[in-house]
């Protein structure tokens, strides 16, 4: 009886003519199991049956999947009409109420403005790039002294420690180690179901958030007591606080959530792109040779231990192409999530309030009209046409929430690659499995044998 009632309810609730075509699947569970099992093929099959705009029920929510270029542009540019970020509750809870995905309207403009002022091209050039370079030079030392290294682990540490260096100049290993332990728990918590029991990852993630807050609060208080203004992101945020007239004045609570947001947003994107770039370069010696040529030309003008600077970074055209091609081919980000705050018309249909909208960009990456021979790793394609500036380029999102960390992320990966390819050769040990969906990862690590170049 209960099953029958649920099916009837499902039918009435979702088989409404004003909704787009598609299937909803099982009551409550929807199509989550098929989606998780089939991965990208699930989306491809539904698209073949129902077109670029269809309904489904995924991860506990009725969902519209959009692969339509025009509709996507509309969705990404019309947050004010009620299309706000639709990320899972665990993520919003653990990243904090001032985290950028949790705020909309004027509050979003404020947090985003504060962030953009800290990572503008001038700030990257003058303050952040020298820190990044100093960190990479030291982090990438003596990798050839170990027999084999797990490049996944190394790139994860690189992304986290590099952010910590830029945010607060944290080099003290006790702060970094404490942060690292808590941060890994926090990340797991954001990816779990929001069930608050002592044994759940959600609970541990929440506890980790509390410990991180305690750590950051103490650092802020110490800095305030010392009255020293430091040239790093935290220094900029605290200095902003000191200037009463500044448009981007932040409270301590906002500063803390902003720091967590910066580290969280750049962590997996930067580390996974770096790992996959190492993988693709290993598998494509001609691309590696071209990349190395670019970096050796930069080194030729310097002595062995000289840093590189922002001008060197802007000259790394092929490296930039390798980073975009890696992101495209591996699809580091499958798409972005929005939700409706009211019933609304979209693409000729009425989408009810509270539905999730999945702007699924993965398929764009393999569209042969945009990227001929799309399954081939071909960084040169980015040099021939200005693909980066076309509307189909959604690797860093688009519209009002276009990734503010794009240039910072690309600079970080470029600096990592600079020291990696000019210092080392590497050979994969072999046998490692790579999973591409829903996240790109090497479940048992990606092991490489490194020797001096
Ligand atoms: C390869 C590196 C990166 C990729 C592929 C990437 C990708 C993206 C994408 C697709 C979005 C859009 C999310 C949405 O619309 O809901 C986004 C937003 C964002 N990214 Fe990145 N990102 C990268 C690096 C970084 C870095 C290093 C930072 C650190 C500052 C960062 C900070 C952010 C923030 C704060 C947002 C939210 C912006 C907003 O809501 O206004 N990202 N990123």
Residues 439/440/444/450 CA torsion (nearest 10 deg)? -150
d(CA 271, CA 330): 13
* 3 state DSSP class of 431: coil
Pairing state between β 61-66 and 356-360: parallel
Do residues 72 and 394 lie in contact, with contact meaning Cβ atoms separated by under 8 Å?
yes
d(CA 411, CA 424): 20
> pLDDT tens digits for the chain (453 residues)?
555 666 666 656 677 779 999 988 887 788 988 998 998 999 999 999 999 999 999 988 999 999 999 999 999 999 999 999 999 989 999 999 999 999 999 999 999 999 999 999 999 999 999 999 999 999 999 999 888 999 999 999 999 999 999 999 987 788 999 999 999 999 999 999 889 999 999 999 999 999 999 999 999 999 999 988 888 999 989 876 555 456 788 999 999 999 999 999 999 999 999 999 999 999 999 999 999 999 999 999 998 889 999 999 999 999 999 999 999 999 999 999 999 999 999 999 999 999 999 999 999 999 999 999 999 999 999 998 789 999 999 999 999 999 999 999 999 999 999 999 999 999 999 889 999 998 999 999 999 999 999
* 3 state DSSP class of 342: coil
Look up the CATH superfamily of 88-332+385-452: Cytochrome P450 (1.10.630.10)
From 265, 270, 332, 414, the mutation candidate for ligand 1 (largest count of ligand atoms within 8 A of CB) is: 265
d(CA 127, CA 129): 6
Do residues 273 and 332 lie in contact, with contact meaning Cβ atoms separated by under 8 Å?
yes
Q: How far is the CA of 157 from the centre of ligand 1 (A)?
A: 19
Residue 164's alpha-carbon distances to 150, 184, 257, 265, in angstroms, are 21, 14, 14, 13
Q: How many CB atoms lie within 10 A of CB 299?
A: 16
Do residues 379 and 321 lie in contact, with contact meaning Cβ atoms separated by under 8 Å?
yes
Pairing state between β 424-428 and 53-58: unpaired
Residue nearest to atom 8 of ligand 1 (CA): 396
Q: How far is the CA of 168 from the centre of ligand 1 (A)?
A: 20
All residues at 6 or more sequence positions from 344 whose CB lies less than 8 Å from its CB, including other chains? 81, 82, 83, 350, 351
d(CA 266, CA 164): 11
Pairing state between β 335-340 and 83-85: antiparallel
DSSP code string of 135-178: HHHHHTSSGGGSSEEEHHHHHHHHHHHHHHHHHH----HHHHHH
Ordered alpha helix ranges (H), 227-336: 233-242, 252-283, 285-300, 310-314, 317-330
d(CA 375, CA 328): 10
Q: Which residues of 220-235 are buried (b: 16+ CB within 10 A; e: fewer)?
A: beebeeeeeeeebbbb
* Domain edges within the chain: 88-332+385-452
Whether 146 has a binding-site annotation, put simply, is: no
Pocket of ligand 1 (CB under 6 A): 85, 100-101, 112, 115, 119, 261-262, 265-266, 269-270, 273, 327, 332-333, 336, 395-397, 401, 403-405, 408-409
Q: How many CB atoms lie within 10 A of CB 282?
A: 17
Q: How far is the CA of 316 from the centre of ligand 1 (A)?
A: 22
Closest CA to 58 of 28, 21, 90, 18: 28
All residues at 6 or more sequence positions from 393 whose CB lies less than 8 Å from its CB, including other chains? 387
d(CA 166, CA 376): 35
From 321, 403, 408, 413, the mutation candidate for ligand 1 (largest count of ligand atoms within 8 A of CB) is: 403
From 124, 132, 393, 405, the mutation candidate for ligand 1 (largest count of ligand atoms within 8 A of CB) is: 405
């Amino acid at each position: 009886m209960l099953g029958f009632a649920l099916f009837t309810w499902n039918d009435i609730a979702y088989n409404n003519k004003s909704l787009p075509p598609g299937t909803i699947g099982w009551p409550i569970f929807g199509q989550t199991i098929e989606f998780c099992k089939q991965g990208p093929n699930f989306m491809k099959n539904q698209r073949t049956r129902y077109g670029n705009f269809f309904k489904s029920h995924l991860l506990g929510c009725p969902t519209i999947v959009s692969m339509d270029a025009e509709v996507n542009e509309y969705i990404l540019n019309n947050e004010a009409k009620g299309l706000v970020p639709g990320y899972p509750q665990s993520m919003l809870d653990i990243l904090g109420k001032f985290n950028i995905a949790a705020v909309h309207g004027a509050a979003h403009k404020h947090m985003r403005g504060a962030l953009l002022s800290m990572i503008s091209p001038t700030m990257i050039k003058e303050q952040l790039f020298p820190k990044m370079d100093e960190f990479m030079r030291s982090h990438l030392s003596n990798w050839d002294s170990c027999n084999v290294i797990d490049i996944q682990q190394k790139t994860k540490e690189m992304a986290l420690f590099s952010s910590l260096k830029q945010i607060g100049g944290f080099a003290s290993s006790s702060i970094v180690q404490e942060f690292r332990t808590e941060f890994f728990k926090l990340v797991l918590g954001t990816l779990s179901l929001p069930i608050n029991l002592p044994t759940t990852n959600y609970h541990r993630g929440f506890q980790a958030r509390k410990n991180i807050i305690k750590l950051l609060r103490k650092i802020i208080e110490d800095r305030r007591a010392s009255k020293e203004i430091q040239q790093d992101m935290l220094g900029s945020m605290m200095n902003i606080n000191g200037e009463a007239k500044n448009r981007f004045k932040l409270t301590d609570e906002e500063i803390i959530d902003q720091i967590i947001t910066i580290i969280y947003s750049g962590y997996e994107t930067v580390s996974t792109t770096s790992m996959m770039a190492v993988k693709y370069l290993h598998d494509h010696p001609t691309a590696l040779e071209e990349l190395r040529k670019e970096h050796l030309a930069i080194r030729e003008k310097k002595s062995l231990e000289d840093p590189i600077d922002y001008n060197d970074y802007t000259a790394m055209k092929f490296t930039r192409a390798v980073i975009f091609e890696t992101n495209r081919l591996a699809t580091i980000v499958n798409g972005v999530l929005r939700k409706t705050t009211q019933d609304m018309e979209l693409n000729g249909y009425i989408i009810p309030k509270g539905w999730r909208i999945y702007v699924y960009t993965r398929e764009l990456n393999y569209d042969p009209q945009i990227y001929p021979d799309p399954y081939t790793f071909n960084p040169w394609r980015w040099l021939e046409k200005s693909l980066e500036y076309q509307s189909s380029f959604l690797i860093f999102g688009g519209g009002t929430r276009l990734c503010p960390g794009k240039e910072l992320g690309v600079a970080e990966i470029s600096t990592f690659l600079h020291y990696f390819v000019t210092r080392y050769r590497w050979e994969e040990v072999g046998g490692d499995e790579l999973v591409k969906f829903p996240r790109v990862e090497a479940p048992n690590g990606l092991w490489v044998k490194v020797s001096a170049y």
